[in-house]
Amino acid sequence: MNNVTDYNNQTITRGDLKYQGKAKSVYWTSQADILWLHDTNQATALNGKVHENISDKGRLNSAISYLLFKHLHQHGVATHYLKHISETDELVEKLDIIPVEVVVRNFASGHFVSRFGVASMTELTPIVQEFYYKSDALDDPFINDSQLIALHYATAEEIKSLRLKSAEINDILRRRFAEINIELIDFKLEFGRRADGNMILADELSPDNMRLVDKTSGQSLDKDIFRQHKGDLTVGYREVLQRLEKLEK
Ligand code: C5P
């Protein structure tokens, strides 16, 4: 892998490892406000308790994320994404990450089904938005608005903004996937603050973090293939990428 790239007419060099995530390595760069992400081939489930190396997964995630972030930018959504550098690497803006996972659900699936005992794929109207405190040690517990505020993880104003932004992103992505006959069931987002306090979208947008099903066959095209031992995960991811790429032509 090349350790140098350019961005805005400046040479950016990859630095030390900042953080080793479950499916991603995060590096410092020669620019204090830019990070270098590398998508690995690791697939994890049950908060990292199950993991496996899956050839080509990093490239597929990186390519899908790039196309979805590009689409959000075209719709005026501010995000941390700066540049797709290579098949498995991207530059992003360094943010002060808010330790909250925002889950948006259009249909009941996963933990929503096990928690509330409703039938899988029940349409949720209005959409459901949930917050989880990002902590591997605590297994990402559910957290509510007053807990977020009392613990100073987010202000009331930021929580309002998390709801508005995640609903807007849901509308845009849901429509995009509908164009390629895919239903966006649910997904997870993360946000961070810029130096000026402005909150923007961070993290990644890939089938590792969203449930996607083919609208005709109902077949899973996301990490549920791995979670539920339904076969080769890359078949689903490749299908998502191929359909998204067709929209670019
Ligand atoms: O497991 P659960 O049903 O709560 O997941 C809802 C959505 O959020 C799924 O699309 C899942 O992939 C995503 N998620 C995630 N990372 C987590 C928890 C959930 O990407 N730590």
For domain 4-95, give the CATH number.
3.30.200.20
The answer, yes or no, to whether any atom of ligand 1 lies below 6 A from the CB of 110, is yes
Tokens 């993991």 -> residue: 51
pTM for the predicted model, two decimal places: 0.97
Tokens 């993290």 -> residue: 203
The answer, yes or no, to whether any atom of ligand 1 lies below 6 A from the CB of 177, is no
Q: What is the pLDDT, as a whole number, of residue 249?
A: 87
**Where do the domains of the chain lie?**
4-95, 97-232
Q: What is the pLDDT, as a whole number, of residue 18?
A: 98
Q: What is the pLDDT, as a whole number, of residue 191?
A: 98
Q: What is the CATH superfamily name and number for domain 97-232? A: ATP-grasp fold, B domain (3.30.470.20)
Q: Which residue among 49, 120, 143, 186 is best mutated to probe the pocket of ligand 1, counting the most ligand atoms within 8 A of its Cβ?
A: 186
Q: Which residues pair with 200 in a beta bridge?
A: 192
Q: Running DSSP on this structure, what letter comes out for residue 148?
A: H
Q: What is the pLDDT, as a whole number, of residue 77?
A: 98
Closest atom of ligand 1 to 130 CA is 4
- Given a contact cutoff of 8 angstroms between Cβ atoms, the answer to whether 177 and 55 are in contact is no
Ligand 1 centroid to 188 CA: how many Å?
Answer: 6
Residues of the chain with pLDDT under 50: none
The answer, yes or no, to whether any atom of ligand 1 lies below 6 A from the CB of 166, is no
Closest atom of ligand 1 to 113 CA is 3
Q: What is the pLDDT, as a whole number, of residue 46?
A: 84
Ligand 1 centroid to 31 CA: how many Å?
Answer: 32
Token pair, residue 166, equals 């995640």
C-alpha count within 13 angstroms, C-beta hemisphere, residue 165: 22
Q: Running DSSP on this structure, what letter comes out for residue 155?
A: -
Ligand 1 centroid to 112 CA: how many Å?
Answer: 10
Q: What is the largest CA-CA distance in the chain?
A: 54
The answer, yes or no, to whether any atom of ligand 1 lies below 6 A from the CB of 186, is yes
> pLDDT tens, 37-81?
999 999 998 877 888 999 999 999 999 999 999 999 999 999 999
The answer, yes or no, to whether any atom of ligand 1 lies below 6 A from the CB of 112, is yes
